[in-house]
Amino acid sequence: MTRLVVASHNRMKAGEMVEILHARFPGLEILTLADFDGAPEPNETGTTYADNAVIKARSAAAFTGEWCLADDAGLEIDALDGAPGLYSRRFWGEHLPFPEKMAMILDLLRETPFAQRGARFRCCVALMPPGEIAPEVYADTCEGQIAETPSGAGGFGYDPIFWLPELGCCMADLTPDQKHAISHRGKVLRRVGDRIAELTASAP
């Protein structure tokens, strides 16, 4: 492997993944779907995070002819029976801004004691070679709670309401490096990185 495509049209997510990977592999050419005119946005019809990650990675590999990496992630809230989960980005409508999604979640949990606001971010990543070879899939989580009020201006998505008890702050309060060290996406990309290290080492 000498080139890798992060299979996402989401600017914030793709940027975060490129940042994490480039810090470990400064000599690896890392692109996103924004670098490929006409790259399709496949329908995420899977019933699991892994299904959707594979759908996106397979579509990108077929279009670009390159090694591709795609993820799917979600916020799972115990008091809401795991919602929004797989539908985190589409919760109350795909185009509803995240501040409004978070306000609705906080309203749903307004009578829920803080001790019962357990939650986690879960992330699956599919690493797909060009061709018809099956992808490799990796997964990890970051455990926390849902805060009573949003905090912080960093990160994206639900980060402002995801409380990290061991750090005493929300994920959006962290610097990028701090977030990458403990986040679901940072954890799983370290595992994927171990595999990429093997593949780059064997490249001619």
Give per-residue pLDDT as tens, 143-158.
999 999 999 999 999 9
Is pLDDT at 90 greater than 90 in this prediction?
no
Query: Quick check: is 51 catalytic?
Result: no
- pLDDT at position 180, please? 95
- Ramachandran sector of residue 17 (left: φ over 0; alpha: ψ -120 to 50; beta: rest): alpha
Q: What is the mean pLDDT of residues 162-172?
A: 97
Q: From the candidates 72, 140, 159, 173, give the one annotated as an active-site residue.
A: 72
- pLDDT at position 204, please? 53
Query: What does the domain layout of the chain look like in residue ranges?
Result: 3-201
Calculated CA dihedral for residues 151, 154, 157, 160, nearest 10 degrees: -10
Q: What is the pTM of this model?
A: 0.92
Query: What b-and-e string marks burial along 176-188, b requiring 16 or more CB atoms within 10 Å of the CB?
Result: bebbbebbbbbbb
- pLDDT at position 177, please? 95
Using an 8 Å Cβ cutoff, are 143 and 154 in contact? no
Q: Report the distance separating Cα 84 and Cα 62, nearest Å.
A: 30
Q: Which two tokens stand for residue 77?
A: 């809230």
The reply to whether CATH 3.60.40.10 applies to domain 3-201 is: no
